[in-house]
């Protein structure tokens, strides 16, 4: 596979932090990533890197494809005042602050602007390829476009919070659908079920079909969740309509198609329209990517942790399209994803930049 060789550039931890704070300070909820994308592109331009914003809004800085570093630009909605809190100001019980360097508060500091900025710094430091993708929090349109529009790299590191010592190798898959039913209107004293009852009956059957032992790890279960419901008598008074939006998470032991068929089996009345599925992924801990992370974390005085996450990320799409080793990594406590108190230790951010630099150097065959 062809690669574009790019000379590394000595990005300091101060440079990386400046990028981080700037990006967190720019609101970038899904669909509104343009300003943040332009700031990210300007960072690469300032370090003499080829960069462009593609037709869907991804920031693409092609270089050495021995490894592709990629994370998402978008965040969930929610305004959190951006503040760099010193270690002295931080609550003594706040275990996010460490080593006297303070904490950055703001939406996206953890999910996933922290990983995004760390990867951008490491990509410039080592001369490897980088992409900041859009839409991960909604439909992953950036990642879907990327896998259809470029060649497979030799390896992928996806950016999501794992903590500076965590290496995420597994995610569950994702299946979402919308159930719709219509019934004739009638007096509520009639015994025949209406569309709302049909919707709730179907979903109860789905939940029962996937009911599992409570002692089984969540990662290994199919979990079912209704996320929105709407129903009632139509404006003309002649019908009752019901719409139910649902989501199912799929463990790597099952495929999405099998789960879809099981969910449809009890369907007798109404229809379900399914969105494009996202397959589950479980990477081996013995790949060169996982080995490089374990070595790099130890070299930065950490103890590596191998993680499996119950959610879903763009790594699922990359693994479904590309047959190359990969892992997910990034600074931040994932328990603060989407939270009103989202914040990131700046010392942890620095360590993640150092780890990513070591990993990219190893995967390109360079000396660290």
For the stretch 32-66, pLDDT in tens is 999 999 999 999 999 999 999 999 999 999 999 99
Q: Decide: 132 and 120 in contact? Cβ < 8 Å.
A: yes
φ, ψ for residue 181, nearest 5 deg? -140, 150
All structural domains of the chain with their residue ranges: 13-171+280-363, 173-274
Q: Is 94 a catalytic residue?
A: no
Highest mean pLDDT among 79-93, 122-136, 182-196, 231-245: 122-136
Residue 2 pLDDT: 42
Q: Decide: 87 and 101 in contact? Cβ < 8 Å.
A: yes
Q: Which CATH architecture has domain 173-274?
A: 2-Layer Sandwich (3.30)
pLDDT in tens, 209-231: 999 888 899 999 999 999 999 99
Catalytic residue among 15, 64, 65, 136: 136
Instruction: Establish whether 72 is an annotated binding residue.
Output: yes
Query: Which structure tokens are listed for 94?
Result: 């706040």
Catalytic residue among 74, 283, 348, 350: 74
DSSP characters for 254-307? S-HHHHHHHHHTT--SSEEEEPPPB--EE--TTSHHHHHHHHHHHHTT---EEE
Please give the angle made by the CA atoms of 308, 311 and 314, to the nearest 5 degrees: 95
pLDDT at 89 over 70: no
Instruction: Establish whether 198 is an annotated binding residue.
Output: no
Residue 1 pLDDT: 45
Q: Is 136 a catalytic residue?
A: yes
| CATH code, 13-171+280-363 | 3.40.630.10
Instruction: Establish whether 9 is an annotated binding residue.
Output: no
């Amino acid at each position: 596979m062809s690669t574009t060789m790019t000379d590394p550039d000595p990005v300091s931890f101060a440079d990386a932090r400046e990028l981080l704070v700037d990006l967190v300070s720019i609101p970038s909820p899904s669909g509104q990533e343009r300003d943040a994308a332009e700031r990210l592109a300007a960072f690469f331009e300032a370090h003499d890197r080829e960069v462009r914003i593609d037709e869907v809004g991804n920031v693409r800085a092609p270089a050495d494809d021995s490894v592709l570093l990629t994370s998402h630009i978008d965040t969930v909605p929610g305004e959190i005042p951006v503040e760099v809190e010193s270690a002295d100001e931080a609550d003594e019980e706040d275990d996010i602050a460490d080593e006297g360097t303070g904490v950055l508060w703001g939406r996206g500091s953890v999910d996933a602007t922290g990983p995004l900025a760390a990867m951008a710094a490491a990509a410039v430091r080592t001369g490897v390829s980088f992409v900041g993708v859009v839409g991960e929090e909604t439909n992953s349109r950036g990642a879907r476009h990327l896998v259809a529009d470029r060649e497979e790299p030799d390896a992928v590191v996806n950016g999501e919070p794992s903590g500076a010592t965590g290496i995420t190798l597994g995610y569950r898959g994702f299946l979402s659908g919308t159930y719709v039913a219509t019934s004739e209107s009638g007096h509520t004293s009639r015994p025949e079920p209406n569309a709302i009852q049909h919707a709730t009956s179907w979903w109860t059957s789905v939940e029962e079909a996937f009911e599992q032992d409570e002692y089984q790890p969540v990662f290994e279960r199919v979990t079912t969740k209704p996320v929105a419901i709407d129903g009632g008598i139509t404006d003309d008074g002649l019908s009752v309509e019901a719409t139910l939006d649902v989501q199912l998470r799929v463990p790597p032991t099952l495929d999405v198609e099998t789960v879809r068929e099981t969910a449809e089996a009890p369907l007798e009345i109404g229809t379900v329209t399914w969105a494009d599925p996202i397959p589950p992924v479980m990477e081996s801990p013995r790949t060169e990517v996982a080995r490089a992370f374990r070595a790099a974390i130890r070299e930065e005085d950490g103890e590596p942790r191998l993680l499996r996450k119950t959610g879903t990320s763009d790594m699922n799409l990359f693994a479904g399209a590309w047959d190359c080793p990969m892992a997910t990594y990034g600074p931040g406590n994932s328990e603060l994803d989407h939270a009103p108190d989202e914040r990131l230790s700046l010392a942890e951010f620095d360590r993640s930049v150092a780890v990513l630099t070591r990993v990219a150097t190893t995967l390109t065959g360079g000396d660290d």
